[in-house]
Chains A and B, each alone.
Chain A
């Protein structure tokens, strides 16, 4: 396994009374695309800014390439940042913006010229040298911002919601471009976003953060398939979450009583009588007319939503909770108002321990 290029150990950040980052431990590996994912205010941007040096950690250590950086000013750190609102210098041309870093390091003019040309080519902005940032579109600005950061040959590139201001189509396109760029250059990307789809598309690993704590870290599929808590299950993709009590444990097979009936799930380390959540993805949910063995959950078909590639069916449980089922094709036997039994392959559902006091 490659070594950690950035490492945060027991990092805490307080803003006055606000504890925004709590005892954070994170190893970012050489050459990976790591995404810090979480809702706004979760501490993800603060974490990124602490790596960049714009914020000081209240306590803990941060190392970049094995070197402690807490005492270093941003201009002394070998990381570069792509900012949320591009932050291009409005008084400089595209060329001078990209040349800013090397010109400060007193790189010879001819060398700067060569590298700026290379970088602008890399981000497909050849020929825009003389433009001012105000004459660029959002996507073009972002490309220049990326070139301006990459020209310094950083080992780690920090990206703070860089696509947040772009429209959906352009965002999708830039996601793919960014991912390709990262693979091509082999640079470590640390990417901050609140968009789980974006995180899933681009990342090698995702760290899901809430209230200043990393809840789960892992490959996108791993987090999608095995969320370790209700929040992650809800936040990543769509999920149906049922609460219930374990009634019988038979090896890894669990029989769980929900307020609306019995269901089966599959997992280790659960005991009889324990209150748990079960997370089940909409694509794994099934309905049929007769009860499936081990399941006594009944639901009423509420409506269908056609979303292009998939059809989403909403089902109401007797207690009012809504379940979502998605299929590539509509089930022609189903009508609104039909009563059906709900079931799933127990292996496809995820039992989640319930925290003390969690409902």
Chain B
């Protein structure tokens, strides 16, 4: 390496650190340290009156291996997976539709998508509960139209939880996919058609691979929060059906078993890390659509 390029490299490195400095500090203070603390207390002992006793133990992780917890974890994973798949299947065509509209129409459609997001989530959830309660409008309509003979119990069922999850996370799935599809040049599709590909072939060989970053962001933005959520499952599931999120909340709240809550959090963290690792194997991380 000659002198000029060495000098250039050194010149480039300094400002990079200077720029990243404050950000790194911020990240360390507000992300890394709390995260390390969570990991730390997950290996500690539960205090007799709540709180944490700083005696190292693996009790929390042993508890997680219990069948009851394993079932909850598996169920949460399954529900999060179903939510994600449904959000992708519903969201992709919708995102595609918006992305192919002129800019002004597209921004209006996105607005419609965003409005529910800006509504307080408790209000939204209460609205779902009102709609689906035993003598709510949905049941009345079903009775009136003669589809059912007595009111259906929707509240506190897995089905309603799933509906709540899907409607809640759909915008998070649509937005990154929209952003990816919008960037896809029509010329790519034309080139594919020009080379003899039917629209279906073009979709699987060009459109889908080129919008994969958006799809993956959508997966991350739906799967991970869906796995950790507790408000939706709490309210629509009525606390009857347990999910990881509810258990974490309860461990830190009423039950006051912080180490167990922390261990569950670590588990969520690992799932997230695994997903991002999988993504980085397939594509460059900077391609990911982050909104």
Contact = CB atoms under 8 A, between A and B. Distances in A.
Interface residues of B, number: 17
Interface in A87-113: 87-91, 100-101, 104-105
Interface stretch (A77-85, A211-219, A240-248, A267-275): A77-85
A52 interface: yes
A105 B201 CA distance: 11
A80 B195 contact: yes
Contact of A87 (B188, B196, B198): B188
Contact of A74 (B193, B205, B209): B193
A149 B192 CA distance: 11
Interface string B249-278: 000000000000000000000000000000
B165 to A, nearest CB: 32
**Central interface residue in A89, A90, A152, by most chain B CB within 10 Å:** A89
Interface string B116-154: 000000000000000000000000000000000000000
A90 B207 CA distance: 11
B195 A100 contact: yes
B206 interface: yes
Interface residues on A, range: 20 to 34
A141 interface: no
A16 B194 CA distance: 26
A89 B205 CA distance: 10
A87 B193 contact: no
**Central interface residue in B185, B187, B191, B210, by most chain A CB within 10 Å:** B191
27 contacts: A52-B190, A52-B194, A53-B193, A54-B193, A73-B193, A74-B194, A75-B195, A75-B196, A75-B197, A79-B194, A83-B191, A85-B187, A87-B187, A88-B191, A89-B188, A89-B206, A89-B210, A90-B210, A100-B195, A100-B197, A100-B205, A104-B196, A104-B197, A104-B201, A149-B194, A152-B195, A152-B196
Q: Which 7 A-B pairs have the closest CB atoms?
A: A101-B195, A74-B193, A87-B191, A87-B187, A75-B193, A91-B209, A81-B194
Interface of B: 185, 187-188, 190-198, 201, 205-206, 209-210
